[in-house]
Amino acid sequence: MNIILLGYPGSGKGTQAKVLSQKLGLFHVSTGDIFREELAKDTPLGLEVSGYLSAGRLVPDRLVLEVLKSRLSKETRGLLFDGFPRTVEQAEGLDAWFDSRETTLDAVIFLNVPEAEVAKRLGDRRTCPKCGKIYNLGTKPPQKPDICDTCNEKLITRDDDTPGVIWKRLQVYKDQTEPLLAYYKSSGNFYEADGGQAPESVAAKIAAMLDGK
């Protein structure tokens, strides 16, 4: 099964992807995580994408598609995309890539959350730099302040979770990613989930939507 999670920054794509990929045995593909890992390792790719991430702008389509094709060329599991595609050009590139592998897209799940809610969530987000676990000071705080429950590592605030960059990312989403909703709505595989509910309820709704697929 191949699935795309779509939605505003902060709509819960990463949170849901972690649960869903485990449950369905899918390979979780987060382009944002890939770029942040490269950045942390100071690789040439990390240096190339650094300015885009810190400004909240999109990495150019050509580069995103190149990176994904090379990363996924040997992957045989079903794929769960989180944060990709983000433009119509990327979606067309993905369609062509699926065709070349004689596989198909099974579901596009849109996590619908109001803009004011996602802005608040992003400001309150903390993540573990070691295991990637996602917390929220308001809705999902760690047991000990600023410490990961799983690996005891000190939690961090993502560099792009500052008020100015959050605002920019929301604008970029509206300008460049929202058109994807129309692109996928006509596909017959488009599902919308109310992402404003508690994470467990959202996960249950998604599971019900995919039941029988």
- Measured CA to CA in angstroms, residue 20 lies from 25, 103, 104, 168, 212 at distances of 8, 20, 19, 29, 15
Rounded-to-integer distance, Cα 102 and Cα 122, Å: 38
Residues 146-185 that bind ligand AP5 (CB under 6 A): 160, 169
Contacts with Mg ion, 7-46, as mask; x by CB under 5 A: -------x--------------------------------
Would you say 46 or 78 has its CB closer to ligand AP5?
46
Would you say 122 or 213 has its CB closer to Mg ion?
122
- Answer with the entry of Mg ion, ligand AP5, none that 56 interacts with (C-beta below 5 to 8 A by kind): ligand AP5
Q: Which of 126, 133, 169, 205 is catalytic?
A: 169
The answer to the question of residue 205 lying near ligand AP5 (CB under 6 A) is: no
Computed from CA positions of residues 42, 43, 49, 53, in that sequence, does the dihedral angle turn out positive or negative?
negative
Sheet holding 107-112, edge to edge: 27-30, 79-82, 3-6, 107-112, 190-194
Q: Which residue is nearest to Mg ion (CB)?
A: 14
Measured from the CB of residue 32, what is the shortest distance to ligand AP5 in angstroms? Answer: 2
Centre a 10 Å sphere on the Cβ of residue 101 and count the other Cβ atoms it contains: 12
Q: Which of 4, 32, 39, 108 binds ligand AP5 (CB under 6 A)?
A: 32
- Answer with the entry of ligand AP5, Mg ion, none that 133 interacts with (C-beta below 5 to 8 A by kind): none
- Angle subtended at Cα 17 by Cα 5 and Cα 195, rounded to the nearest 5 degrees: 60
Measured from the CB of residue 13, what is the shortest distance to Mg ion in angstroms? Answer: 5
Applying CB under 6 A, which part among 91-99, 119-127, 144-152, 183-191 lies near ligand AP5? 119-127
Q: Which of 13, 36, 121, 133 is catalytic?
A: 13
The answer to the question of residue 31 lying near ligand AP5 (CB under 6 A) is: yes
Show which residues are catalytic: 13, 86, 125, 158, 169
Q: Which residues bind Mg ion (CB under 5 A)?
A: 14
